[in-house]
Structure 1
Amino acid sequence: MLDAILWIFQNIGMAFYNLAYAISHPGLWLDWSDKEAITRVVYYGGSVELFFVVFTTFLVLTGIGMWRNSFMWGCARVLEGFANTVGRFTAWAGLIMVVQQIIIVFIQRIFARPDITLGFGIPLQFDMSWWSEELKLYNALIVTLCATYTFVQGGHVRVDLIYASVSHATKRIIDMFGSLIFMMPMAVLTWMYGWFFMWRHLIVPNPSASESLEKLLMKSRALRWNVETIGFSPSGFNGYFLFKVLLVLFAGMVFVHAIAFFWRSYLEWKEGPESAGKYLDRDTLGEGEQAYEGTH
Structure 2
Amino acid sequence: MLQLANTLDKVNLGVAYVVRWLALAMMLVQFTIVVGRYAFGLNSIALQESVLYMHATLFMLAAGYTLLVDKHVRVDVFYAKVSAAAQRRIDIFGHLFLLMPSMIALIYWSWPSVRNSWAIFEGPISVGGIEAVFLLKSLIPVFAVLVILQSLALLIRLLAVKVP
TM over 0.5: yes
**In 2, distance between residues paired with 1:228 and 1:90?**
24
Larger Rg: 1
Select the residue among 77, 80, 83 that pairs with 1:164: 80
Shift in Å, 1:237: 2.7
Say if 1:93 and 1:142, in contact at 8 Å, map to a contact too.
yes
RMSD: 1.6
The corresponding residue for 2:34 is: 105
Shift in Å, 1:73: 1.0
TM-score by length of 1: 0.53
Q: Does structure 1 residue 182 correspond to structure 2 residue 75?
A: no
**In 1, distance between residues paired with 2:126 and 2:11?**
37
Q: Does structure 1 residue 140 correspond to structure 2 residue 34?
A: no
Shift in Å, 1:111: 3.1
Shift in Å, 1:249: 0.2
Query: RCO greater where, 1 or 2, for CA within 8 Å and sep 6 or more?
Result: 2
Shift in Å, 1:110: 2.7
Q: Does structure 1 residue 76 correspond to structure 2 residue 5?
A: yes
Identity among equivalent positions (%) equals 30
Q: Secondary structure at the match of 1:201?
A: helix
Between structures 1 and 2, the one with greater helix share: 2
Say if 1:88 and 1:149, in contact at 8 Å, map to a contact too.
no
**In 2, distance between residues paired with 1:143 and 1:240?**
16
Q: Does structure 1 residue 88 correspond to structure 2 residue 17?
A: yes
The corresponding residue for 2:154 is: 261
Aligned pairs for 1:224-243 within 5 A: 226-229=120-123, 231-243=124-136
**In 2, distance between residues paired with 1:186 and 1:113?**
43
Residue 161 to residue 233, structure 1, CA distance change in 2 (3 Å): closer
**In 2, distance between residues paired with 1:157 and 1:232?**
30
**In 1, distance between residues paired with 2:30 and 2:49?**
10
The corresponding residue for 1:285 is: none
**In 2, distance between residues paired with 1:100 and 1:108?**
12
Shift in Å, 1:250: 0.6
Aligned pairs for 1:204-219 within 5 A: none
What letter matches 1:110 in structure 2? A
**In 1, distance between residues paired with 2:33 and 2:69?**
33
Q: Which runs of 5+ in 1 are unaligned?
A: 1-71, 115-127, 204-225, 274-296
The corresponding residue for 1:252 is: 145
What letter matches 2:159 in structure 1? Y
Q: How many residues align?
A: 164
What letter matches 2:145 in structure 1? G
Shift in Å, 1:252: 0.9
Select the residue among 109, 112, 116 that pairs with 1:193: 109
**In 2, distance between residues paired with 1:254 and 1:170?**
23
**In 2, distance between residues paired with 1:133 and 1:244?**
14
Aligned pairs for 1:18-167 within 5 A: 72-114=1-43, 128-167=44-83
Say if 2:19 and 2:62, in contact at 8 Å, map to a contact too.
yes
Shift in Å, 1:109: 2.7
Say if 2:125 and 2:133, in contact at 8 Å, map to a contact too.
no
Q: Deviations over 1:167-222 (max 9, x none)?
A: 2222111111111101111011001112221011122xxxxxxxxxxxxxxxxxxx
Between structures 1 and 2, the one with greater strand share: 1
